Chains A and B, each alone.
Chain A
Amino acid sequence: MNTANLLLINRGILKLIKQPSAPIMGFAMSLFFLLVYNAGIGGIGSLDAFGEGGYLSFVFPITIISLAMGSSAGAGQTLNADMQSGYFRRLYLSPAPRYILVVAPMFADILSSMLFTGILLIIGAIFGVSFQFGILSALGVLLLSFLWSLTLCGFSAGIMLRTGQHQSAAIVTNAVFPLLFLSTTFLPRELITAKWLLAISWGNPVTYILEGNRYLLAGTSSAHFFHIALIIFTLTSVLSVAFALSSASKIKV
């Protein structure tokens, strides 16, 4: 990798370190969810459907998913700040490849998401979340989290680049948020009584990442959810990166 690329990636990371509010808020929100869900409805964890890991292991994947949602707008916001200040044009006129101007803040975002996912996994392990396959489970969760973060981050950056609006960086998060509640977020499929919700959850990609994580952690789901999640989110990651890169050529400099 050439020096200009490394410099820009380093700049993206330093920007996040200097202004860490987005990832820290995402992390705090995730911990909050874990705490209140477990405290509020953790008692039902004694039911067989939640497996040996109990409700904590069952609900843990939602904290991983919400973590990425909280911080995925960071790249879009960095790009927006550079565009508003005019600095993006200066970078655009440097010999650095133009794709790296978009990729660098995304890279920083993903890195921070991975870092906080790792911290969440450690906290989860301390508080008794089960890991069905030991370290492989943790790696599997990190992989799914990477693909999920990349998907959100790429679409978020792409939309921001196309619209040039600061607020639009959060469009993706807002669009995805309802999907969290149209899935098997709080209860396993067999305990959901509303048929419409069951039907929607089948078509909801969030279900597959949730259940994929549950296969790895609580062991309450089957492997095919994990495999389907890998396929879906690899595809969405590729699409989102392509969308973000193609958006770079739409920027009005």
Chain B
Amino acid sequence: MPAEIQIQQLFKKYPNGTHALKGVSLEIHKGQFFTLLGPNGAGKSTLVKIMTTLINKDSGSFLISGINPEQNPSKIQNIIGVASQDNEIDPSETVESLMIFQGRLFGLTRPEANRRANELIEWFQLTTERSKKASALSGGNKRRLHCALALVHRPQILFLDEPTVGMDPVARANFWDVIIALNRKEGVTVFLTTQYLDEAEKHATGMALMVGGEISYSGSIAGFKQMVNPEDELSLDDSYLHYVKTLSNQESLIQ
């Protein structure tokens, strides 16, 4: 099966001297639910920003659905949906008008945009909030709206960068119900970065671990747990902690 996302030897250094990516290579297949894990500052968000064309890489190459995003950014915007760590909402607009505007911006006709807005408002349980201005929403509902906006144009690939931060357990469960349905029923590829390892373990089929701008593991979650502790069945959370601690101990020894 051809990879939907192909990343080869990506390097990125910020003007302040931080080497955010040091030769990252990954392959994510169509319809896969993939999670990228790693401690804060590992370079996960930088990788997502490069793939979604928010920032440029220094060197290396990457293709999304066979398209070079740097050469065809608008083509890529039509097939990806992005829900980043921070809310991206115009606080002065209502839930419904934001949804419809987003749809129209992605080329939906007015009736299509209305229908899609209604659908997403229902999916994300925002029905009672539809006429409220975004500024009047609770923190959790702002997150729901933020995530719903990423789905308006029916993207075939979803980049979710810590999407459930700030959501209560009910909102989180509701959010994952929607995402899992899209992934399983409609074959939407999901690229998730998260610090909630229980969510990653529950939903993802493939993973990579990123530390210090490098991929230190890439494969299945079961394979990772097996690699960390071949004898005992640890949770992903415990395996991750164990692995990261071992790595930092090794680094301390080297230093």
Contact = CB atoms under 8 A, between A and B. Distances in A.
Interface of A: 3-4, 7-8, 11, 15, 18, 82, 85-87, 89-97, 253
Contacts of B89: 85-87, 90
Q: Is the interface of B mostly helix, strand, loop or mixed?
A: loop
Contact of A96 (B55, B87, B90, B105): B105
Interface of B: 49, 52-55, 74-75, 77-78, 82, 84, 86-92, 101-102, 104-107, 149
Contact of A82 (B49, B75, B84, B90): B90
Contacts of A92: 54
Contacts, number: 56
A97 B101 CA distance: 16
A90 B88 contact: yes
Contacts of A11: 101
A56 to B, nearest CB: 40
Given A90-B149, A253-B55, A95 B105 contact: yes
A85 to B, nearest CB: 6
Nearest to A84: B91
B169 to A, nearest CB: 25
A89 B54 contact: yes
Contacts of A7: 101, 104-105
A197 B89 CA distance: 50
B54 A93 contact: yes
Contacts of A89: 54, 84, 86, 88
Residue among A4, A8, A85 with the most chain B CB within 10 A? A85
B105 A86 contact: no
Contacts of B101: 7, 11
B52 A87 contact: no
A-B complex: 5 closest residue pairs judged by Cβ atoms: A90-B88, A86-B88, A95-B74, A87-B90, A95-B77
A82 B77 CA distance: 19
Contact of A87 (B55, B84, B88): B88
B107 A3 contact: yes
B224 to A, nearest CB: 31
A11 B97 CA distance: 11
A97 B73 CA distance: 9
A4 B86 contact: no
A4 B77 CA distance: 13
A169 B74 CA distance: 29
A81 B86 CA distance: 15
